Structure 1
Amino acid sequence: MKLLFVADPLDHFKTYKDTTFSMMREAARRGHELLACEPRHISWKSGGKVAAACRQIELTGDAHDWYVVRGEPKLALADVDAVLMRKDPPFDSEYFYATHLLEQAEREGARVFNRPASLRDHPEKLAVMEFARFCSPTLVTREAGEVRDFHAEHRDVILKPLDGMGGMGIFRVRDDGLNLGSIIETLNHHGATTLMVQRFVPEITQGDKRILVIGGKPVPFSLARIPQGTEVRGNLAAGGKGVAQPLSARDREIAEALGPTLAARGLLLVGLDVIGDYLTEINVTSPTCFQEITQQAGFDVPKMFVDALEAALA
């Protein structure tokens, strides 16, 4: 099959940990043809189909010069077997426009994973609202007074922007309320921007667990991203240590409750973030942690993913 990966520039990949690379490697092992492009290479012209200036690549097995280009075709997305949208956040205007181009490609017959409309409909922090029964107390607002009331009720809270990634812009405010006003102003820009506030979950010391759900089914191991030193954030990008561990009963309950619903919406791959017993985020753009879980737990996550992709295309 021809698989087109829409991703960040190939030369930026850190192949020792990159999830998209692990998908490519497993697909190549099965004999599938690999194509790659960036969102900026996708275009549409009236009278034609959504197309992309692609690079046909072959993996070399080398850790640094990891691919060679075998051709540079311009292809209609409907003419490849699957399009895998793996562009990293932020979900900015260009990402938004890319989902509309990909949705037009779907109308022309392309198979896109994750489904473009569902990428738009599941903003990674706000998507938890639908599944509030699994969340710790949460507030979404732009009103400073509501944030102050929430803090007064719960005393120890986490504040974060709705468009953050990799732990950026996350603040903890304890019982003393130190700097709460300044933090609110920083995040809501004096009432112009919506933010999220959640009751602090002390089990963060045991890790912010990334639970992967593939084709509606949970990977049996999570990657607990454990904060280091005085840091409150477990994100790997913020210096957290990733430790693979079996799913707890609560982890599995959450994943099995959400998995079929999200899969039915065209979300082949989802990353659930769970702290303690609470769901905190639903990641749908480009969930990661394939290689860390595979290496530490011995469970072949890329194999499970490509199995699910092939089944979806059958």
Structure 2
Amino acid sequence: MPSVCLLSTATADAANDNPERLAAAFEDAGWNVVRRDQNAVRSVGGLLTLSPDDHRLDEFDLIWLLGLGNRHSFLDRMQLLANVQPSRMVNTSTALLELHAKHALPLTELADLHPETYASCDPAWLRSMVDTGGDWVLKPSAGSFGHHVDQVDPNHPGLDTLLEELTGPHASNYCILQRYVPEIEVGETRVLVANCEIVGCYRRLPGPDHRANLSAGAHAVCHTLTTAERRIVQRVTAFLRDRGVRFAAIDIAGPYVLEYNIANPGGMETIARLTGRNPANAVVAAFSSLT
């Protein structure tokens, strides 16, 4: 019987139901499922195990990190998990370290798919970029749900305040300044991929403002990928696969990839609601070929 370890973080305000949905789908497919908090990972006599029973991580066929876990122990945990054989990890800890933040994509060979983007913790310099003209989007480097995402231009009355808030005390936090993509006004496509296979997609139509986040009032509708979108997904999926990522959400607007989410992307709940089909079953099927 193949086995999977799902490592998540138990919180009252979980971002989505991925841990529960995936656990049920793996169990239905005949997998042995073990769920633990990410902080259950520990090193014992040269082996990585899980508390409280010291179940060895190298005995699992798949290990799946869902989310980033406790912030204070994040780096220690990622360094421990870097010692796991990459073929056992759905998304490796190295990939989470290198690719999770929103400024990662424009620094890769996928830069031509990305809007003009800047990352800095210097509010004055970011202001000078905005002052070059046009519309921009200002956002945290690793935010989610559309929180603290603002559309700005050189005449925005609160621009300096927004920049100071995002960069934080003593300009200690990085934030992202990205050229506004007008294609977002007609919607953004979210695509879920598992082990290089597309397992579902939908279109997010913006709500009362520029954001296409469902938590910010956007509306989800069924969508069939265009040929151009499929080409983009194939290219991004191949890039992510080569860097240890086998489950991701890819967000596309027009010819651009706005971002990809590899930590614990939402979307399965929405696809299930729109189609009546549980995409977790397709996810499990995509990974079953590995065992």
Normalising by structure 1, we get a TM-score of 0.81
Residue equivalent to 2:215: 237
Judge conservation of contact 1:208–1:273 (CA < 8 Å) in 2: yes
> Among residues 49, 52, 65, which one is paired with 2:47 in the alignment?
49
Judge conservation of contact 1:3–1:80 (CA < 8 Å) in 2: yes
Deviations, residues 11-44 of structure 1 (Å, cap 9, x unaligned): 7668xx6233222222111111121000121111
Number of positions where the alignment pairs a residue of Structure 1 with one of Structure 2: 287
Distance verdict in 2 for CA 1:175–1:248, change over 3 Å: farther
> Among residues 60, 70, 75, which one is paired with 2:55 in the alignment?
75
Alignment of 1:1-314 (within 5 A): 1-9=2-10, 18-45=17-44, 47-53=45-51, 73-86=53-66, 88-89=67-68, 92-106=71-85, 111-129=88-106, 130=108, 131-174=110-153, 176-189=155-168, 190-219=170-199, 221-229=200-208, 231-297=209-275, 301-312=279-290, 314=291
| Matched letter for residue 153 of structure 2 | R
Judge conservation of contact 2:92–2:244 (CA < 8 Å) in 1: yes
Shift of 1:222: 2.3
Across the aligned residues of Structure 1 and Structure 2, the Cα RMSD in angstroms comes to 2.5
Judge conservation of contact 2:9–2:70 (CA < 8 Å) in 1: no
Distance 2:205 2:8 in 1: 27
Distance 2:42 2:65 in 1: 15
Distance 1:97 1:227 in 2: 38
The sequence identity of aligned pairs, in percent, is 22
Tell me, what secondary structure is at the counterpart of 1:114? Answer: coil
Distance verdict in 2 for CA 1:287–1:185, change over 3 Å: same
Tell me, what secondary structure is at the counterpart of 1:139? Answer: strand
Distance 2:202 2:263 in 1: 18
| Matched letter for residue 7 of structure 1 | S
Distance 1:266 1:23 in 2: 20
Normalising by structure 2, we get a TM-score of 0.87
Give structure 2 stretches of 5+ with no counterpart: none
Distance 2:221 2:133 in 1: 30
Tell me, what secondary structure is at the counterpart of 2:289? Answer: helix
